[in-house]
Structure 1
Amino acid sequence: MTAPAWGTDEQSGRPRTAQHYTVAPAVGAPEGYVAPGMPGVPVAGYEPVAPAARLRRPRRRRVGLAVSVAVAAMLLGALACGCAPLRAADSVGWLAIAPAAAVSWPLGRLGGRSRVLPLLGALLAAGALFLGQLLLQGRELRARGLSGAPLRAFVHDVLAAWRADLRPLDLVFYGIALVGGVILTRRTATRG
């Protein structure tokens, strides 16, 4: 075994000045010289290239439009849940994901990514389910012939009937609507 020569690195035996370059530095190069093409070399005569004109305008967030369309979707979802046939009223709650999808699609697509919109989507989806159940209770009261009361008394009777008819399974439906509103709004959100 031989010892490396003085002034060389110990693995290859090359001079220390050449171990960091792919090309040996020019004779008489100043200290700190970096060979052309190596990282850290300033490029002379560099002019940035102008970006190509975009073919499509960038998407803008339209939060106001998204919220108004989502509120309209909430009202339509409540109308759909409330106008279901009375004999199918027990199975309508399982469709709680439909109002959540109807509400979250415009929030995500038009509103873009936001921290507030998924929460708003959850609240609007649960609101659609709540209004649908109130509309269904109002239809049941009207079918029994109890709709002759003034509007304030009728609303009070509808809320009392809703509270009396509230079951633990309805909490599952509200949970489905809340979670569905958050998840679907996040998934449909676009970068804008």
Structure 2
Amino acid sequence: MTAPAPGADGQSGRPRTAQHYSVTPTLDSPEGYVAPGMPGVPVAGYVPTVRSHRTGPRRRTALAVALAVLAMLLGGLAYGCAPARAADSLGWLAIALAALVALPLGRLGGRSRVLPLLGALLAACALLLGQLTGQLRRVHAAGPGPRGLPHDALAHWRAELRALDLAFYGIALVGGFLLTRRTANRN
């Protein structure tokens, strides 16, 4: 139903706001006009400042990845150089390695979809590096075999791999992923 145009057959008895038009009525105000008191109205005397194109936090992804790799290397070496008497309870430090790697990735890298995956991978690599370093220390103390020190350390690591070690790798993977995602700045 459409209301008659003003002046054609007379005014409709309905108020103007209740009239229906088949075409958009012409506005009495200029385009872009916002009534005072409505959202979007500039405050009197307000002069907007020029903003930079960057509104969110600055991402430093390359620096974050470099620091995370350094944390992985240092954490793995520290894990591998721990005293041998603590070797059985040392696996639970996988979450500490994950946190050590996740902190620079999350804080400096920001909210990226790739960085939590990288955090999980680096945390598992830190645990692997730590276990291999521990085996290397044990093989070196016992004396290298005929095939060489790195090969013997890898063979001993494979021989001593238990189901609990796989659980620690799972903890490192999940911890690296979640901690990287949670430490990312949410601004």
| TM-score relative to the length of structure 1 | 0.72
Aligned counterparts of 2:94 and 2:120: Cα–Cα separation in 1: 11
SS at match of 1:61: coil
Q: How does 1:79-94 map to 2 (within 5 A)?
A: 79-94=77-92
The amino acid that maps onto 2:105 is: L
Matched, 1:43 2:34: yes
Q: Which runs of at least 4 in structure 1 moved beyond 6 Å after TM superposition?
A: 33-36, 44-48
2:144 maps to what in 1? 147
2:126 maps to what in 1? 128
Q: How does 1:49-60 map to 2 (within 5 A)?
A: 49-51=47-49, 59-60=57-58
The amino acid that maps onto 2:114 is: V
Contact 1:74 1:128 in 2 (8 A): yes
Tell me how far 1:135 sits from its aligned partner: 0.5
2:100 maps to what in 1? 102
Contact 1:34 1:41 in 2 (8 A): no
Aligned counterparts of 1:159 and 1:53: Cα–Cα separation in 2: 56
SS at match of 2:148: helix
The amino acid that maps onto 1:43 is: V
2:113 maps to what in 1? 115
2:180 maps to what in 1? 185
Per-residue Cα deviation, 1:94-116 (whole angstroms, up to 9, x for no partner): 11000100000000111111111
CA RMSD after TM alignment: 3.2
1:5 maps to what in 2? none
1:163 maps to what in 2? 158
Contact 1:74 1:125 in 2 (8 A): yes
Per-residue Cα deviation, 1:137-161 (whole angstroms, up to 9, x for no partner): 11111222x2376xx7211101100
Aligned counterparts of 1:143 and 1:134: Cα–Cα separation in 2: 14
Aligned counterparts of 2:119 and 2:92: Cα–Cα separation in 1: 18
The amino acid that maps onto 1:158 is: A
Aligned counterparts of 2:33 and 2:68: Cα–Cα separation in 1: 54
List alignment gaps of at least 5 residues for structure 1.
1-14, 21-30
User: What is the aligned-residue identity percentage?
Assistant: 61
The amino acid that maps onto 1:121 is: G
| TM-score relative to the length of structure 2 | 0.74
Between the two proteins, the alignment pairs up a number of residues equal to 161
List alignment gaps of at least 5 residues for structure 2.
1-12, 19-23
Tell me how far 1:79 sits from its aligned partner: 1.2
